[in-house]
A and B are shown apart, each in its own frame.
Chain A
């Protein structure tokens, strides 16, 4: 009887330990799929806000989102024709992103930027700098990089920039309390 109880306690302890290991962390993971200025802005506000709340923040930039992380001052050599074309057609960095609505050939975007300045909303560039300072982790989808022909040499300087696959995202998302797709 006593050993039976002991066995049961041991089993319960083991189960409890494994359950505790599966608890989501105080962590936020965001997929930034969009390369639209408004959507990227929203994702950066959420990311920096979450750091203020002491949450770990992991951002995964994929597809059009990767264009935000290009550096407008960097031009890597040795690209093939298609990569050059894509590189030319897609925005080169955060300052070149456009609004998803009311862009009006760039006029709307410039107007919004003016309004943001007037109303003391931090610019996207300032937000990226704040995110770096606060330790927001940024990962870039390697497949998107290959697809669009982007090279690591043309991406912006950001602390601990990582190039990852879907597995990294999924394992981080599984551990996160909040997951967003923007």
Chain B
């Protein structure tokens, strides 16, 4: 997805993992996705660059749909669908 398409997405839930280091964002994502309904969209906020590689792989493993990431001055917004 392009940045514009990502920005237009309506997230059902936003997980703020800014400020935490590995594996913080991953654990926060795992926690956040628990009460998400299949088909709902979740956004993860992270300031850890490694998250941009970790979350797509995590999505592949968990069989969630990964949409992409927006980089806003070192804050990464990642989107996925359960």
Interface residues of A (CB under 8 A from B): 45, 48-49, 51-54, 119-122, 130, 134
* Interface window among B1-9, B20-28, B65-73, B74-82: B20-28
**Residues B58 and A53 in contact, CB atoms below 8 Å apart:** yes
Tell me the complex Cα distance, A51–B61, Å: 12
**Residues B20 and A52 in contact, CB atoms below 8 Å apart:** no
Count of B interface residues, CB-CB < 8 Å = 13
**Residues B20 and A54 in contact, CB atoms below 8 Å apart:** no
**Residues B21 and A52 in contact, CB atoms below 8 Å apart:** no
* 14 further contact pairs, Cβ within 8 A, besides A48-B27, A52-B58, A122-B24: A49-B22, A52-B23, A52-B26, A52-B27, A52-B29, A53-B58, A53-B61, A54-B61, A54-B62, A120-B19, A120-B20, A120-B21, A122-B21, A134-B27
**Residues B21 and A121 in contact, CB atoms below 8 Å apart:** yes
Chain B residue at minimum C-beta to C-beta distance from A54: B62
**Residues B27 and A130 in contact, CB atoms below 8 Å apart:** yes
**Residues B24 and A52 in contact, CB atoms below 8 Å apart:** no
Contacts of A53 in B (CB 8 A): 58, 61-62
Interface residues of B (CB under 8 A from A): 19-24, 26-27, 29-30, 58, 61-62
Least CB distance from B15 to A in Å reads 12
Chain B residue at minimum C-beta to C-beta distance from A119: B21
Contacts of A134 in B (CB 8 A): 27
Chain A residue at minimum C-beta to C-beta distance from B24: A122
Chain A residue at minimum C-beta to C-beta distance from B27: A52
Q: List 12 A-B contacts (CB under 8 A).
A: A49-B23, A49-B27, A52-B27, A53-B61, A53-B62, A54-B62, A119-B21, A120-B20, A121-B21, A122-B21, A130-B27, A134-B27
